[in-house]
Structures are given as C-alpha cells and as structure tokens.
Amino acid sequence: MFRTILLAFFFWIIIILYCVLFIPLGLIKLFRAQKLEEKFIILATFSWAHILFFLAGRKIVVKGREKIPAHNRICFIGNHQSYADIPVIMGYLGKRVGFIAKKELSRVPILNVWIRAVHCVFIDRGQGRQALKMIEKGMEQITRGYPLVLFPEGTRAKDGRMKPFKAGGVQMAVRQEITIVPVTIDGMFHIYEEKKRVVPGTTVITIHDPIDTTGMTREELKELTPRLEAIVQSALPEQYRITRES
C-alpha cells in the first residue's frame, strides 16, 4: 500500500515538474519545427514512463522493437490489461504515440496539455456513433504522421484474460490504408488491477510483424480482426488467451 501511495504522489509531482517543459515545447510549436517537436516529446514521455515504472518496481522487457516501421502511418493494435498500458507504450516503443482518451481527461489540468501534445483523440464512451467518428478522426491523424494505439477489446482485461476484438477500429485502419503493428502486453494487469495496489514484477511487450493494409480485398478485411486476435494472443500464456463459449 505504501508503494501505491508513493507512486501516486510521484506521478503528480513528475507531471507538475514537467510544466517547465511547456516553455520549450511552446517555442518549438511556434516555429513549427515538427521533427524537433517529435524528438522532444519522445524524450519527455520516455523519461516520464521510465521513472514511473522504476518507482513501481516494474521491469519492462520489449521484444521485436526493430519490427516497428520507420514511417509514422502506424496504428498499434493490442490487448488492454491496465491503465499502465498507455505509459508503457508511450515510453518504450520509441515513437510519439497518441491514444483514445476519455473526454474527462481533457479537463485535467497539466495532464491534458501532454495528452494533446501526442495527438490523442478524446471520445465520449456514452455516445456510440460519436465515439466511432472520433476514432475515424484518429485514423485520419495517422495519415498525417501521428501514430495511434488502439485497444479493440473496448475495455481493460483486469484479470489478464484477453477479450474478443471489435472490428470497428480495425476496419477504419484498413479504409485509410494504414500499417497495423500488432502488440501483445503480457503481465501489466499485475501492476495494479489484480490486487488494487502497486505490485513489482516484470511485464513483457511483444511487437509483431507489421501488416500493410494497402489494397486489402474484402475477404482479407473479413479475416483481419480474427487474424489480429490470433497474432496478439500468441504471445500470451495459454490461460490468458480468449475463451469463447461453445
């Protein structure tokens, strides 16, 4: 419990200290130095994530990082185990990565500045059609060079067991002919969701071979969501893979 309180305290201390970085970030944006802005944000999120996981006593192992394409027309698609999935992807993949965020986060001081800086998309989960429109907007952002991470399960698997993927976001990625990079997160639910307190340990992030969606046929599109499910869960222990009622 002490580690949990300590981590929460340092989380906000770090966020507040990062206010100092708003000054150079603002200047970089003013001069529209996009490449410098990207490097600056990657460095900021890298240090933030590494400090957090160090304090949490969490070792992060990344496999297959070399498979990530050099270009930025990328949608990372993976399983979702924890609130900590976001900082681990932002801090350990070497890309400026946005994500789908609840609209409530847009009103959190300081934090909302950084969420916008990585080109996140705010959605209202209670408005189904509007949420889909915002996800489509996120896919359009990818075509402009801002990678996005998508969790097609729709919610966290708090017990670690992966849930079936929903096809909506995957189909939108294909419509924009975006490169999909499957990602498996193994063990992150142990950090908090399992026992409702911060628990040290190891999390393994596996990057799979990218999938080029350019020119996909209808048949290939139909098979894409189950294909992604199979790829992502292949790096999970058997007991955490999808189980369907017969």
Query: Model-level pTM?
Result: 0.86
CATH classification code of 2-240? 3.40.1130
* 7-22 per-residue burial string, b: 16 or more CB within 10 A, e: under 16: beebbeeebeebeebe
150 Cβ partners below 8 Å, 6+ apart? 75, 76, 77, 99, 100, 135, 138, 169, 170, 173
196 Cβ partners below 8 Å, 6+ apart? none
Residue 238 in this model has a pLDDT that exceeds 50:
yes
- Predicted confidence (pLDDT) per residue in 3-54, tens digit: 666 666 666 666 665 566 655 666 666 666 677 777 877 888 888 889 889 8
Burial class (CB in 10 A: 0-12, 13-18, 19+), 58: buried
Residue 246 in this model has a pLDDT that exceeds 50:
no
- Token code pair at residue 159: 């017990």
* Residue of higher predicted confidence among 147 and 25: 147
Mean pLDDT to the nearest integer, 116-139 = 76
Residue 211 in this model has a pLDDT that exceeds 90:
yes
